[in-house]
């Protein structure tokens, strides 16, 4: 196992590893949580190449494929886009793809999930870390070209500036191009990314092959989230054991989270898994919490009946016990003046309009699901809504060319499963929120998007 540190630089510790907040004064009192600030608030400039090298040391070179795979395996680095697939296995699959074609490497920073800001924050603040991860892995795989797929315009500018600095310094590495991600919820799906890089539309492609064997132009393609590459850059500098010194064993390192909704301090946080959810919400300034949406629009709910419902560890296993997955690192907070079922119905309706429009069951089924779900949310006819969901869901589930329809169904199921108490009220024509004024908290709005020139989309 390689634990050698190639420079005399001190490895960063605690929850400040990705350096989103080194220069801001927005530190929290909790060593497991650091706050990178709100998008609108944060004016932190990009870390230059010189600052980057002084923070983290030089880019490691000459690592062997086996060394990289073994170090990432020890680190237990998993994909930060939501799928949680072990990074070392992805690299291994691409390296062993039986083909004579060139290999491509792609960092996905499109962040098409409207509640996420962490990828844009990382790219705006510290693009060199992402580029380092791509560079090291591309070198050992002999990749022909690299791409960063990104929607946020400021992130785009930051990456281009970083690429210029690297060229000027004469760093010899894979050629990386920035590809602009168009708006739309499905534009960030893996196969959409590949099609866009091939200069096609950013729409999902149906395939029975994995990208590791058949991705861009049918060639083996290593595609992962930008945060995964940034973490790889740190692990390959400071070692797998160092990485595991943060977090809990099975969920190691740090994780970037975007916390939004009814909180005083929304924005991007870097946290050590294992921190308590209650502490996390305290730092974000949440009070009178009614529900949490964990993992974004394809995620699931926690019904918060009292404070004790928030006393659990934030980590993959504990969330999995509750049938939850942090996805791309998203927590949406609803306070007691919002009905979570109504909020969910708004999201389902939004998602039904975000279908790529390619597959019949998605095109025709999602509007039916949305209509049925609205009967439950609006307390108009809960029984009819449930009956309609029972009949239409089997006609939609597992029938899409991408994860979109199944993601919507997952959210519907989680809502019905988590809020039995609320739905019971709706059956009698009522709702827990008196004087119903359903202003959506978690849906994209022009204000939410104002800090970002193009994210979110319509």
Residues that bind another protein (CB under 8 A): 203-206, 208, 356, 358-362, 364-365, 395, 399-401
Least distance from another protein to the Cβ atom of residue 208, Å: 6
Nearest 10 degrees: Cα torsion 148, 153, 159, 165: 150
Strands 289-294 and 300-303 turn out to be: antiparallel
User: Minimal CA–CA distance to 175: which of 130, 208, 127, 139?
Assistant: 139
Beta bridge partners of 303: 291
Q: CA angle, 280 as apex, 276 and 286 as ends, to 5°? A: 130
User: Minimal CA–CA distance to 401: which of 210, 216, 203?
Assistant: 203
Least distance from another protein to the Cβ atom of residue 406, Å: 12
CB 229 within 8 A of CB 126: no
* Residue with smaller CB distance to another protein, 205 or 336: 205
User: Minimal CA–CA distance to 299: which of 110, 84, 152, 36?
Assistant: 84
Least distance from another protein to the Cβ atom of residue 202, Å: 14
Q: How far apart are the first and last CA of the chain?
A: 48
Least distance from another protein to the Cβ atom of residue 364, Å: 4
Alpha carbons within 13 A on the beta-carbon side of 46: 21
* Residue with smaller CB distance to another protein, 204 or 220: 204
* Residue with smaller CB distance to another protein, 337 or 397: 397
d(CA 454, CA 458): 10
* Residue with smaller CB distance to another protein, 273 or 400: 400
Q: Which two tokens stand for residue 412?
A: 């519907």
Least distance from another protein to the Cβ atom of residue 452, Å: 29
* Residue with smaller CB distance to another protein, 182 or 346: 182
User: Minimal CA–CA distance to 80: which of 325, 276, 404?
Assistant: 325
Least distance from another protein to the Cβ atom of residue 395, Å: 5
* Residue with smaller CB distance to another protein, 361 or 451: 361
* Residue with smaller CB distance to another protein, 285 or 360: 360
Least distance from another protein to the Cβ atom of residue 358, Å: 4
Residue 45: exposed, middle, or buried by beta-carbon count in 10 A (0-12, 13-18, 19+)? exposed
Strands 251-252 and 289-294 turn out to be: unpaired
Least distance from another protein to the Cβ atom of residue 401, Å: 4
Strand runs (DSSP E) across 267-370, as ranges? 267-271, 289-294, 300-303, 330-335
* Residue with smaller CB distance to another protein, 38 or 368: 368
Q: What are phi and psi of 33, to 5 degrees?
A: -135, 125
* Residue with smaller CB distance to another protein, 84 or 399: 399
Least distance from another protein to the Cβ atom of residue 217, Å: 19
User: Minimal CA–CA distance to 149: which of 197, 199, 185?
Assistant: 197
């Amino acid at each position: 196992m390689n634990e050698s540190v190639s420079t005399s630089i001190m490895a960063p510790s605690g929850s400040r590893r990705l350096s989103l907040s080194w220069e801001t004064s927005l530190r929290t009192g909790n060593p497991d949580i650091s706050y990178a600030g709100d998008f609108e608030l944060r004016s932190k400039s990009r870390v230059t190449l010189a600052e980057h090298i002084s923070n983290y040391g030089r880019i490691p070179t000459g690592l062997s494929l086996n060394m990289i795979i073994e170090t990432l395996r020890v680190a237990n680095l998993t994909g930060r886009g939501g799928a949680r697939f072990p990074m070392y296995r992805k690299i291994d699959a691409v390296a062993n793809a039986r083909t004579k074609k060139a290999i491509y490497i792609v960092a996905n920073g499109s962040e098409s999930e409207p509640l996420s800001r962490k990828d844009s924050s990382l790219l705006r603040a510290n693009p060199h870390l992402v580029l380092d991860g791509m560079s090291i892995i591309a070198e050992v795989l002999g990749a022909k070209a690299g791409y960063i797929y990104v929607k946020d315009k400021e992130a785009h500018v930051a990456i281009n500036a970083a690429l210029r600095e690297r060229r000027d310094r004469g760093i010899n590495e894979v050629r990386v191009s920035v590809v602009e991600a168009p708006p739309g919820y499905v534009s960030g799906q893996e196969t959409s990314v590949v099609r866009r890089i091939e200069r096609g539309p950013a729409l999902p492609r149906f395939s029975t092959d994995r990208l590791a064997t058949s991705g861009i132009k049918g060639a083996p393609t290593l595609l992962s989230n930008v945060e995964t590459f940034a973490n790889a850059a740190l692990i390959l500098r400071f070692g797998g054991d160092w990485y595991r010194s943060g977090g809990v064993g099975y969920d190691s390192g740090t994780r970037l989270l975007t916390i939004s909704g009814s909180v005083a301090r929304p924005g991007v946080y870097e946290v050590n898994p294992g921190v308590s959810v209650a502490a996390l919400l305290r730092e974000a300034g949440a009070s009178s919490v009614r529900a949490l949406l964990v993992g974004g629009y394809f995620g699931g709910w926690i019904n918060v009946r009292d404070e004790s419902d928030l006393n659990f560890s934030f980590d993959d296993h504990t969330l999995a016990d509750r049938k939850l997955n942090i996805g791309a690192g998203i927590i949406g907070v609803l306070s007691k003046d919002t009905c979570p079922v109504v909020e969910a119905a708004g999201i389902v309706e939004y998602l039904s309009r975000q279908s790529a429009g390619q597959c019949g069951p998605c095109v025709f089924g999602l509007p039916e699901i949305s209509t049925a779900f609205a009967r439950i949310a609006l307390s108009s006819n809960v029984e009819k809504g449930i009956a309609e969901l029972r009949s239409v869901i089997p006609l939609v589930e597992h029938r899409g060319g991408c994860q979109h329809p199944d993601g919507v169904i997952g959210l519907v199921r989680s809502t019905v499963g988590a809020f039995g108490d609320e739905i019971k009220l709706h059956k009698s024509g009522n709702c827990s929120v008196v004087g119903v004024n359903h202003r959506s908290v978690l849906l994209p709005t022009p204000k939410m998007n104002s800090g970002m020139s193009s994210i979110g989309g319509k």
